[in-house]
Amino acid sequence: MIRVRFAPSPTGYLHLGGLRVCLYNWLFAKKYKGKFILRIEDTDIKRKVEGATENLIQTLLKMGLDWDEGPYLIFKKGKFEIRQKGKYGPYIQSQRLKIYQKFAKELIEKGSAYYCFCSKNDLEKMRKEQILKKLPPMYDERCRKLTKDEIKKRLAKKIPYVIRLKVPEEGYIEFNDLIRGRVKFDFKNIDDQILLKSDGYPTYHLAVVIDDHLMKITHIIRGEEWLPSVPKHLLIYKSLNWKIPEFAHLPLILNPDRSKLSKRKSDVAVESYLKQGYLPEAILNFVALLGWNP
Ligand code: GLU
């Protein structure tokens, strides 16, 4: 059974690029009689916008892109309420915090992640020193060297911590992308990514892997900007002994000057085109035929 997902972050409106990613997933599910899942990735509280999830849901429905599992809206007492359907829920990440925390601890026990007690100040100082030395700003792994005893003491003192991924010091990781082909990354260039923040919220990297696994996603079809994140994700899959899904990273929609299509340079909100009177079919046709033609 093919299972794919569209996983937007509720930071405002549906972006044309998001619509294109969603369409490819939807078409792939339809073609293979699979399931299409909508998941809301709202763990970055600073970027979360009130009402954005409702807005995303409404725009997707206006575009005719429906889903088998995930949040949906009902109209009750004069306003919209979010409900969810499907047996792998909740499909809203902020409602899954306990799940992420449990797996973050499991990664520590397996030796694939570690506690980091560095303060904002420590990190800022580290970054400045690295810039002065013309080094790429990366976590210098000082907490990776803490002994079991030192960790225990800090935990007992309730010093705030994050959990970081332990990226191997050397070597390469390779994987196959259905669009890009073989892709290879050098561990040297990969930072010890934060997986769980000090407020108990996961970062994108931890949440996406756990959810794609638990929601039984078979094919991850998303924008190319996520390709450099795959090595980090693979380390998590491998550590937890989970089956690795297929990856397909779609090229991005660009402005005529080849910069990434963004709201500073163009109108990128799908709802804005709908408001201007473009028919959903016309917008879908436009997005479907970008980059190729029959
Ligand atoms: N929440 C991410 C986004 O908004 C999803 C990336 C993914 O599909 O893994 O782009």
What does the pLDDT look like over 6-17, one tens digit per residue? Answer: 999 998 899 999
pLDDT of residue 216: 98
Element containing residue 80 per DSSP (H, E)? strand 79-85
Identify the residue whose tokens are 């990440």: 93
Answer for the pair 12, 59: CB distance below 8 angstroms, yes or no: no
Answer for the pair 134, 88: CB distance below 8 angstroms, yes or no: no
CA 214 – CA 235 distance, rounded (Å) = 17
State which ligand 1 atom lies nearest to the alpha carbon of 229: 9
Answer for the pair 26, 65: CB distance below 8 angstroms, yes or no: yes
275 carries an active-site annotation: no
Res. 136: pLDDT tops 90: no
Pocket test for ligand 1, best of 208, 230, 262, 268 (most atoms within 8 A of CB): 208
The band of 166, judged by pLDDT with boundaries at 50, 70 and 90, is: very high
Answer for the pair 56, 23: CB distance below 8 angstroms, yes or no: no
The whole-chain average pLDDT of the chain stands at 95
Question: Phi/psi of residue 56, each to 5°?
Answer: -60, -45
Res. 45: pLDDT tops 90: no
pLDDT of residue 202: 98
Res. 264: pLDDT tops 80: no
Answer for the pair 231, 209: CB distance below 8 angstroms, yes or no: no
Res. 76: pLDDT tops 80: yes
The band of 111, judged by pLDDT with boundaries at 50, 70 and 90, is: very high
For helices 97-109 and 204-214, what crossing angle results, to 10°? Answer: 100
CA 37 – CA 212 distance, rounded (Å) = 10
Tell me which amino acid residue 164 is.
Answer: R
CA 88 – CA 5 distance, rounded (Å) = 12
Q: Which residues line ligand 1 (CB under 6 A)?
A: 7-9, 41, 208, 222, 226
Res. 293: pLDDT tops 80: no
pLDDT of residue 256: 80
Of residues 294 and 241, more confidently modeled: 241
Tell me which amino acid residue 292 is.
Answer: W
Q: What is the mean pLDDT of residues 237-263?
A: 90
The residue annotated as part of the active site, out of 85, 263, 265, 275, is 263
pLDDT of residue 122: 94
Reported pTM = 0.95
Centroid of ligand 1 to alpha carbon of 173 (angstroms)? 22
Res. 193: pLDDT tops 80: yes
Tell me which amino acid residue 210 is.
Answer: I
